[in-house]
Amino acid sequence: AGSAQGFVADISALITPSSMAEVQPAQPVPPAAAALDPAAATAPDIPPPPPPLAEAATPAVVADPAAAVPPAEGAPPAVASEAAGLAAAPTTGVDGLGTTAAGLAASADPAAVAADPAALAVASASAVAALPAAPEPPKELEEDAPDDKRKKVKETATFLPPDTTLNVLSSVHGNVLMALTDGGLQYFLAGARSNIGLTAGRYMFEVKIVEILNPAEARAQHGRMLTPRQLLRIGFATADSSLFLGDTEDSLCFDSEGNFTHNRQSTMVAQKFAREQVMAIVLNLEEDGPNAHTLSLFRDGVRMCQPQKLPESMRGKALFPAVTFRNLTVHVNLGATPLAKMPFSCRMVQDAAEKDASVKTVAKPKDGKYEVLFPACLPDEGSFDWLDLFLEKHPEYTELSDRMILDWAEKSGLVRTRGYQWKTSNDKPDMGFGIPPLDDLSTCNMLKTIAPALERNLVVMEVKANLIKEDRQSLLKRFNLPHLKKIAVIMVGDPTQDFKQRVQSIMLKEKQAASDVTFKAQQAEERVKRMAAKRQRDIEKEQRKQERAAKRLKREQEEAAKKAEEEAKKAAEDAAKQNGEGKDGEGEKEGDDKKDVTMAPEEKKVEVEEDEEKDDEDDKMDELEDQKPPVVQLTDEEKKKVFRKMAVPDLSTLALSQSFTKFTIPSREEGFDEVRYEWSKRSKVAEYVKEWVLNKKLTTRIEDLVPSDSFNQHWIQWQQQLQKWRLKQNEWKERVKQAALRKEQKKATAEAEKLKAAQEKERAEKEKAEKEQHGVAATDGEKPDENMNGKPDGEKQEDSVQKPEEKKAEEKVEEEEEAEELDQMEIDGDFDVFGVADVCDMGKGRPLFADFTFEDWALVSLRFELHTLAHAFQKDVDDPERLGVHVDHLIFYYNKYFRKNLNTKYFGVESFEDLVEFVTDSAKLNSKNKVLESHLAGDLDSFDIFVKLTEECRRERNLIIDSGKEEAVLKFSHALAAPAPALGGGGYSGQQQSRSYQKGARVQQAPHHQQKGWHGAASQQVQQVQYKGGAAPAHAYSATTAAYNPGKGGSPGKGGSYGGYGGKGAPAGSKGYGGPQSQAYGKGRQYGGYNKGYGK
């Protein structure tokens, strides 16, 4: 039931038993249908929504509800009186029945109602009386406006183009505003602010929704759709406030959801309003009266809520009517005649007195052309700082940029996937909404289509596009209209003084904010420390308190025992005096007990000191809370800065790298009507831009640089050569090792034979002594024993026994041969490194790099790589103005060319400058521009120079270390140590087959050589398994695999064949063969032949 008349009708129907079956439960109203369309709420079989609180409290009902609502015909007197009393009670509950008499009756038993209808009415009235009293409805305290004969404003109340958003289209007459919805604009709020502001008096304006727009929704991929889709805010704002009501502290509004909003703080104060309803906003700026300095909302002339107080920040300022809406067409009535009758007379905005109003005007251009500015600023040199300063001085201009769209989306309530703080650049930030029309820049293109058609001044802020001739011409085509004047504004060079002051103030604010954050963090950390110390002191204090209490208790127990002993002695002396003494004793005992309870002086002192400590700590905590952050100042170095470093760059690294070489200054020949030089003169600007581009060529990396084929071939050759050197070093080490092993084996054999001879001699002497001792002698007639050769034992066997002298001579010869073999491997260390013709054999088969460690090999590679990088970069870039690789981008180009990371920590240093110091004999960093340069020619005949330079430095380093300077020791990480290549030589005994090769295409085999081992053919290596039984030649594998060197005992092959894995094997069997032949890897015709081989 929506009124008192409805209550009476319901109760009358419920009293009749036959009508009980007709009571149907209320059907809920869909919120989406009834939100902005009241027709949906009055559909058949669906009760209308309850009226607002203000509607139920009309003067007629409040004055005399019994008189205003007649009793139902035929109703009993008691029921009629109760119905009249319930008529004045407001309804509560969603369906209008919840706590009313009709609701109680609907839930009653039909049999009980039929038996005693009057009792039901009485019970219902009693139940209602027991409910808490409803809040008093708002009383209308506004009075009719008196006649005002003052002079009225002459200007027509309307909406000026600069005070509307770009998606608002207004009618010529009637102030009808429509929000555009194409190209993703349906997600953005539209805002408009009137040209007449109010400073005093009481005035109103009206808003009516005339159309609800339902554009098609793009399917969001990651973003969240806005709710509600249609929204209307009506209120007041200051002249320089945001066009989006409620977002700042200088605007306030009511919205269609029933909220009152100020500075993004919303409060539910009224019901929703919808289409075809006239919403009136009354602004009372009178100094006295019950509703002074308030804002009130009315619907169709009925108050919807209590008057809302104006905040202090908006008092004393001119307040302009404003609306903010989305997906709606609204009619804003600012004229002299209201659309809906109000309960009191109130003048409209158009009827305001001149003294109560502030009129905002926008001067039209003299030549009838509006300006479209194209700022030309170098990236990260004050582009957007200049724009912000310009818009503050010239609010009649409208910014047109991606930055503006992103800010607009945030104020419209759009949810960005990664938040609004994250940006790739200021010029072209990644939208990242997950909504196709926004992410594919359809909104940006739509605005660039709309903006030229509007009569307003624009600033087209495109940092990159405004500096490139082709992009400028594309932009100029969009704004080539008769009513627009295209102006290029050049901000290059030395800025103006007001710009410098603004930058300095922003830098100071940022520094102060950073200092405040640090101070608060330190303060919080100190607070935590002090609280922890306080808790620890409280624990210790409690422990001391318990200790003192224990001592006091012990002392009391000892004194009590002592007193008991004294009393026992006194009791034994005199029984007659015991009574009197007992009384005195009791008094003494009480006094003693009292004395025992009394705290000792030292305990009192300790507690006093603890209390003082507590007070001191409390004072320190208060002092900590009262501390204020220090005030910071800019340093002299910071004051010299003209441009501040932005948190987000103007252009992304990739965009800057690909475009800065095309930057030019706009000219009138391109189609501009005017070119303004704001900072420096034209001649200085051209010179400044040229120098800036040259500097960027040194400090900006080329993101899309691709190493040339010549470099790739050179890099492969180096890898092959390096692999050969490593194999050669391993072979030499193995040779030295085997020679030393043979020497040790012969030495051990000689010592064993010497020991055996000594033992034989000792045994013979022992036997001889035994014979002499026992006197055993052979008789003349006896035949002496013969040995195995048929000769007497005493006869010398010269044929089988070697003379000692001959044996010693032979051993001496062998030792001399072994010593000579080892001596032949040694090279005199005093020689010219750079005079060595062959680094792989500087004499006696010894390579120049025989003593290299992994640190030396790492330096060999570093020398080659830095030298090659310096020359390859200049060749691939082919730009004489790019002098080389800058130190800041050394790791980037190193990774691009060599496909690996360059980590300075692996070399034991922190900076690239220190890293290059290791190889200053081949490369260096220019002291002026920090560009990598090579000391060596780019077309070297061989790679030997890198080995020679490394060997020379190794010798010098060892001399320094031997002199006692430990700082010369290299502290390289073992991560730089490359695995040593496989050696040929020591093979496997028995059969061994490979598990690491895959069939490849058929290859042409060269003639094979009959050697030990075998070699198969394969065009592709899957995995290298190191074998000791032979190594493949370097020229016998496909170009996609690592280099191989010919190994000892291996079979050289060509055309994709791998070297032999046979070779020297371990002895097996009495004849010492290495075991069965090697297993075949494939058929000879398809994969190339293989040779049978046995281990030596």
DSSP sequence for 784-826? PPB-TTSSBTTS--TTTS--HHHHHHHHHHHHHHHHHHHHHH-
pLDDT at residue 271 tops 70: yes
pLDDT at residue 826 tops 70: no
pLDDT of residue 91: 36
Cα of 988 vs its chain's centroid, Å: 56
Query: What is the 3-class SS of 616-642, one letter each residue?
Result: HHHHHHHHHHHCCCCCCCCCHHHHCCC
Alpha-helical segments (H) within 878-966: 890-898, 912-916, 944-962
pLDDT at residue 965 tops 70: yes
Higher-pLDDT residue of 688, 592: 688
Higher-pLDDT residue of 350, 1071: 350
Please compute the mean of the pLDDT values over residues 55-74 and round it to a whole number: 35
pLDDT at residue 1017 tops 70: no
pLDDT at residue 340 tops 70: yes
Task: Judge whether 923 and 867 are in contact, CB under 8 Å.
Answer: yes
Q: Cα-flanking dihedrals φ and ψ of residue 623, to 5°? A: -65, -40
pLDDT band at residue 123 under the 50/70/90 scheme: low
pLDDT of residue 527: 87
pLDDT at residue 696 tops 60: yes
pLDDT at residue 1046 tops 50: no
Tell me whether residue 66 is exposed, middle or buried, using C-beta atoms within 10 angstroms of its C-beta: 0 to 12, 13 to 18, 19 or more. middle
Cα–Cα distance for residue pair 285/319, rounded to 1 Å: 10
pLDDT of residue 116: 54
Nearest to 106 by CA among 202, 7, 231, 212: 7
pLDDT of residue 27: 38
pLDDT of residue 621: 67
pLDDT of residue 500: 93
pLDDT of residue 808: 57
Cα–Cα distance for residue pair 1000/1002, rounded to 1 Å: 7
Nearest to 1005 by CA among 1056, 967, 969: 1056
649 prior amide bond cis, ω within 30: no
pLDDT of residue 771: 82
Percentage, residues of the chain above pLDDT 90 = 47
Work out the widest C-alpha separation in the chain, in whole angstroms: 179
Instruction: Provide the phi-psi class of 992: left if phi over 0, else alpha when psi is between -120 and 50, else beta.
Output: beta
pLDDT at residue 617 tops 90: no
Query: In Å, what is the CA distance from 591 to each residue of 139, 564, 594, 649?
Result: 76, 15, 5, 86
Mean pLDDT of the chain: 76
Cα–Cα distance for residue pair 728/944, rounded to 1 Å: 14
Task: Judge whether 819 and 812 are in contact, CB under 8 Å.
Answer: no
Q: What angle do CA 340, 344, 346 make, to 5 degrees?
A: 75
pLDDT at residue 39 tops 50: no
DSSP state of 156: P
pLDDT of residue 979: 62
pLDDT at residue 917 tops 80: yes
Cα of 38 vs its chain's centroid, Å: 48
DSSP state of 675: E
* Strand bridging mode 370-377 / 457-460: parallel
Please compute the mean of the pLDDT values over residues 803-832 and round it to a whole number: 59
pLDDT of residue 706: 92
Both tokens assigned to 69: 């609502």
pLDDT band at residue 602 under the 50/70/90 scheme: low
Both tokens assigned to 627: 């501390």
Q: Cα-flanking dihedrals φ and ψ of residue 833, to 5°? A: -60, -40
Tell me whether residue 591 is exposed, middle or buried, using C-beta atoms within 10 angstroms of its C-beta: 0 to 12, 13 to 18, 19 or more. exposed
Task: Judge whether 853 and 860 are in contact, CB under 8 Å.
Answer: no
pLDDT of residue 981: 58
Q: Which of 531-545, 954-968, 970-984 has the lowest mean pLDDT?
A: 970-984
pLDDT band at residue 530 under the 50/70/90 scheme: confident
Please compute the mean of the pLDDT values over residues 628-645 and round it to a whole number: 91
Q: Which of 212-216, 246-250, 294-298, 981-985 has the lowest mean pLDDT?
A: 981-985
Q: Which of 433-447, 511-525, 819-833, 1008-1022 has the lowest mean pLDDT?
A: 1008-1022
Please compute the mean of the pLDDT values over residues 171-192 and round it to a whole number: 91
pLDDT at residue 908 tops 80: yes
- CA-based end-to-end distance of the chain: 114
pLDDT at residue 214 tops 60: yes
Q: Which of 207-221, 348-362, 581-595 has the lowest mean pLDDT?
A: 581-595
Please compute the mean of the pLDDT values over residues 519-534 and round it to a whole number: 89
Higher-pLDDT residue of 28, 241: 241
Choose from 24-38, 131-145, 236-250, 1072-1086 the range with maximum mean pLDDT. 236-250
Cα–Cα distance for residue pair 1084/1020, rounded to 1 Å: 17
Q: Which helix (H) or strand (E) holds 759?
A: helix 709-774
Please compute the mean of the pLDDT values over residues 684-696 and round it to a whole number: 92
Computed from CA positions of residues 548, 551, 555, 557, in that sequence, does the dihedral angle turn out positive or negative? Answer: positive
Question: pTM, whole model, 2 decimals?
Answer: 0.65
pLDDT at residue 355 tops 70: yes
DSSP state of 179: E
